[in-house]
Each structure stands twice: as C-alpha cells, then as structure tokens.
Amino acid sequence: MKTKKLLLIIFFAFVTILISACKTENLKSNLMFKKLNNNYENTESINEVNEEILPFNYTVTYIGRVSFFHKTVVFNIDTYEKYVDFIQNTFKKYDNESFNNQEKSKLDVSEDFFDTYGLILYYQMEPSGSNKVNVKSLTLQKDYSLIINVEHYFPAVGTCDIAEHLYLIEYEKVEQDITTIEISYSNICEAYNQYVLKKGSTLDEVKEFIEQQKDNIITVNLYFHFRIQIKPSLEWQSFEQINYEEIERYGINRLTGNMYVLKYYPGVIIDYCSIDDIDLDLINEIINTDDSITLYFSITYKSKK
C-alpha cells in the first residue's frame, strides 16, 4: 500500500503543477489599424455603453480556430481598395495555410459589396485552448465608435496549448465612417472548490456554499475513495470487482448521477450537472458508515474573481 500512497501523492502533485502551468494570464493589447482595448476586469454583464446609440445592422460569422496573425487584432475593411490591399498583402504576409478552401471563400466579396457594406475581422489569440471567445453583440455609439461585446470564458483548469479564433463581421454602412473599434470583455471565470469528507464530518460547509452559489454552480463531482487492504502480490490487480462490492456495501448505488467505476484504483466517481439532483442527506449517511471511505466533494462554479 506504500506504493499506492506514493502514486496518489505524485498524482496530486501533477495536478497542482498542471493548474499552475495553465493559469491564464492577461494579454497585452496589440494595436493594428484600429483601437483595440483589452479590458479583463470582470463585469456583471456586457459593459454598459452610452444610452444614445445608433441603429446598426450586422451579421457575425465564426470562421474557426485558425493559425493566422498570432496576435489579437481587429481590421476594419470598408472600401474595396482596403480589401484588395488586405488580401494581397496582409493576408499573404501571415501564415494562412491553416485556412481551408471553405474558410477562405468566406472572405471572397465583390467590389459592389462595399457600396453598401463593410467587413470587420476580429482575431483573438488565447493562451489556452480551453478559453472560449464569443461575440455577443455590436454597439454603435453616437460618436460612431463601435464596441464589440465579447463574452470571455475561462475554465478552472485550462489546457496548455494556444487557440486562435477568427470572426468575420459584415455590417451595413451608416452615414459616417466608424471612428474607432473597441473590444469590451465580459469575463466568465470558472472556480473550483473541494471538500474532503469522512466519518465524523458534516456537510454544513458544503450546504452553506451551495446555498450561496447555487445559481453559479456548473458541475459537481463526487469521488468516493475506498481504503482497502490488498496483499502486495495483488497490488496491481483490477479493482473493478472490489469497487462494485464496496458500492453495494455502502449503498452508493442509491445516488443518482453519472457513475464511473474505477478499474485500477479503489473508488468510484459520480458526476452531476444539476445541484438539484444531489441527495446531501444520503451522502452524509454514506460517509459516516465507517472509517474506510473518504469523499472528495468537488464543485465547479462561475466566479467573478
């Protein structure tokens, strides 16, 4: 069992390192042709703008995750001359080999198009592929400055890769040219709480947290760990059958949720997507059965921090 304990310590150390390595950092603003404002302050909702706003018709198309500019930029292309210059120079200057023919075709427009419409290319580079970028709306203010309202989603633990998102915005021209373009971010950040519960523990702290954060909870994960005495010669055997026996003995099968019986480790995992499906009284009964069961009660929730 010493080997098992050592493996458990190594596992938790690895998770800690992974979280630290993937912690999302603020991006520095890159200016190209138009003003780009990276505002990473959390807000209750999409940042408020002036009450006097102008009518503005547009369509937003997500072209995809493509390797292109390698920085966060916004282009406003409102004339055919700018369009030709962009395609012949800027587009070819950067690595656009990741574009397939269908994605490239979305950038094909005629000269007549610019009599009525303009194009905006919004390209966002993220330090983690788990971060999500979603254009929620566009607001044209009375001074003809344009705000692109972006919902920015940060998971509790991110993958250690880079993602580059490209949006194409077609808009109907108004009386005057757009003066500036700003990106206004509304951040949604995932946070993670874990409670270690065993015989003698109460769920009071868990209940209090759920009551406070009920509307913000995303998922709940229960990991029941069984303390089982195994002969050294059998240490690497499959635990699947033993786990099923422990599930029956503790009555864990009375819980709802998506259950995953571990094969090579003593325990079972139950995932919940709704906090309303969790029977806290039954969980309290299970963990107080004896000293051989420990529950790792994990909650992922939306945070404003």
Final residue in a domain of this structure, among 170, 189, 208: 189
Q: pLDDT at residue 204 above 90?
A: yes
Convert the chain into a string of H (helix), E (strand) and C (coil).
CHHHHHHHHHHHHHHHHHHHHCCCCCCCCCCECECCCCCCCCCCCCCCCCCCEECCCEEEEEEEECCCCCCCEEEEECCHHHHHHHHHHHHHHCCCCCCCHHHHHCCCCCCCHHHHEEEEEEEEEECCCCCEEEEEEEEEECCCCEEEEEEEEECCCCCCCCEEEEEEEEEECCCCCCCCEEEEEEEEEEEEEEEEECCCCCCHHHHHHHHHHHHHEEEEEEEEEECCCCCHHHCCCCCHHHHHHHHHHHCHHHCCCEEEECCCCCEEEEEECCHHHCCHHHHHHHHCCCCCEEEEEEEEEEECC
- C-alpha 267/C-alpha 153 separation (Å) is 32
Closest CA to 301 of 168, 199, 154: 154
Residue 84 belongs to a domain = yes
Choice between 264 and 77, residue whose per-residue pLDDT is larger: 77
Q: Identify the pLDDT of residue 229.
A: 72
Q: What is the rounded average pLDDT of the residues 289-297?
A: 96
Q: Does 43 lie in the same domain as 146?
A: yes
Q: What is the rounded average pLDDT of the residues 288-292?
A: 95
pLDDT tens-digit map of 158-174: 888 888 888 999 999 99
Q: Does 172 lie in the same domain as 101?
A: yes
Q: Does 243 lie in the same domain as 206?
A: yes
Range name among 10-19, 47-56, 243-252 with the lowest pLDDT average: 10-19
Q: Does 116 lie in the same domain as 263?
A: no
Residue 7 belongs to a domain = no
Q: What is the mean pLDDT of the chain?
A: 79
Q: Identify the pLDDT of residue 87.
A: 81
Residue 9 belongs to a domain = no
Final residue in a domain of this structure, among 189, 209, 228: 189
Q: Identify the pLDDT of residue 95.
A: 52
- C-alpha 127/C-alpha 160 separation (Å) is 8
Final residue in a domain of this structure, among 165, 189, 213: 189
Q: Does 58 lie in the same domain as 171?
A: yes
- C-alpha 305/C-alpha 302 separation (Å) is 9
Closest CA to 303 of 221, 216, 219, 220: 216
Q: Identify the pLDDT of residue 10.
A: 43
pLDDT tens-digit map of 182-198: 999 888 888 889 999 99
pLDDT tier, 104 (very low <50, low <70, confident <90, very high otherwise): low
Choice between 279 and 108, residue whose per-residue pLDDT is larger: 279
- C-alpha 38/C-alpha 154 separation (Å) is 15
Choice between 178 and 229, residue whose per-residue pLDDT is larger: 178
Q: Identify the pLDDT of residue 46.
A: 39
CA geometry: angle 120, 121, 124, nearest 5 deg = 135
Closest CA to 294 of 181, 207, 196: 196
Q: Identify the pLDDT of residue 136.
A: 92
User: What are the residues facing 225 on neighbouring strands?
Assistant: 267, 294
Q: What is the rounded average pLDDT of the residues 266-290?
A: 94
Classify the phi-psi angles of 257: left when phi > 0, otherwise alpha if psi is within -120 to 50, otherwise beta.
Answer: left
Q: Identify the pLDDT of residue 44.
A: 33
What are the tokens at 88?
Answer: 């012949």
Residue 10 belongs to a domain = no
Split into its structural domains, the chain has a count of 2
Q: Does 131 lie in the same domain as 65?
A: yes
Residue 270 belongs to a domain = yes
Q: Does 95 lie in the same domain as 170?
A: yes
% of the chain residues with pLDDT over 90: 48
- C-alpha 305/C-alpha 291 separation (Å) is 37
Q: Does 222 lie in the same domain as 176?
A: no
Residue 131 belongs to a domain = yes
Q: Does 118 lie in the same domain as 36?
A: yes
Q: pLDDT at residue 7 above 80?
A: no
Choice between 29 and 68, residue whose per-residue pLDDT is larger: 68
Q: Does 79 lie in the same domain as 62?
A: yes
Q: Does 167 lie in the same domain as 208?
A: no
Q: pLDDT at residue 36 above 80?
A: no
Residue 139 belongs to a domain = yes
Which range of residues forms the domain containing residue 104?
Answer: 27-189
- C-alpha 77/C-alpha 111 separation (Å) is 12
CB 293 within 8 A of CB 224: yes
Q: How many other CB atoms are found less than 10 A from the CB of residue 133?
A: 23
Q: pLDDT at residue 151 above 70?
A: yes
What are the tokens at 260?
Answer: 């995953």
| Strands 146-154, 181-197: pairing kind | parallel
Q: Does 244 lie in the same domain as 223?
A: yes
Residue 8 belongs to a domain = no
Range name among 19-23, 144-148, 225-229 with the lowest pLDDT average: 19-23
The answer to whether the pTM exceeds 0.75 is no
